[in-house]
Structure 1
Amino acid sequence: MIGTVAGVTSPAPAYTPLVGADLTIQPGRSLTLPLTPSNEYAVLVVEGSLEVGDLTPSFGELAYLGAGRESVDLVASSNGVRCLLLGGEPFTEELVMWWNFIGRTHEDIVEARDSWQSAIAAAGNDRFPMVPGYEGDPLPAPPLPGTTLKPRPRSR
């Protein structure tokens, strides 16, 4: 989809060192992909399930691989798997991630949630405009936890 994986480069323009590959592995087969050790990677399962080292993600689950890997072995389940390899240069700064929001601080997340909730009530705003053609109701953000959100760790 974008970037270069296993010597194949996407024609899509990339303005940062990103990687996105749509992979289908037949039932019971395995695939070893070379990786750039300085990049951070994850595998998102779109159909089926697979083994990624000691991880066994299935439909809708993301297996975070981190950085520092020369390669990754993907082993499809007996039903096969379709997955997305996602990666790129790691962020050097700490980030706070919660629901659909990413910020640098707890306060950034509170502000983003408030803006999202306002957008829902007003049928869009400058930060979160309505999506043309989408006919469903926007999803309200869940309540914030009763604690201060902290940056995610750099390793799992």
Structure 2
Amino acid sequence: MVQRRLSQLDSTWPAALPRRLGAMIYDGFLVAAIWIGIAIAHVAFFRFVVGQPADEIGVGSLEVWSLRLLLVISAMVFFTFSWTRGGMTLGMQTWRLRVQTVDGYTITPLQSVVRCLIAWVSLAAFGLGYWWVLFDSERRSWPDIVSNTRTVVLPKR
């Protein structure tokens, strides 16, 4: 994948915690909607394709682990696609945020996957990875630091 040079590099600044949280909440609703669709399709597959009785769906470990895996993969695909395409998810567009490399390019798929994995760790640590923005001189979160990216605020048009 070819990285693109992003615009407005001179007029951006590091994103503060409230904006990041706003975008995360917005994107959380989008991911929840995707997950609901996947869960419905998953149940329908086991009910109508596999032929399981309705009261047995979700009881076996295959159903549970396959659904969990689908949910994690779908969230990572959503963020990876959004970040590598233009540096923004829909929630980030609303809050005028963008993820970019340190030198102002779109991030790579590998950087995006690393961001996703560290985001799970950051949230599992009671959000400490995002609270880190308050203490870092460059307002970087753990996903920013580990993936060598920056989350910036775009100016108003």
Same fold, judged at TM 0.5 (above): no
Q: Which has the higher strand share?
A: 1
Which of the pair is proportionally richer in helix?
2
Give the TM-score of the pair, scaled to structure 2. 0.20
The structure showing larger relative contact order (alpha-carbon pairs under 8 Å, at least 6 residues apart) is 2
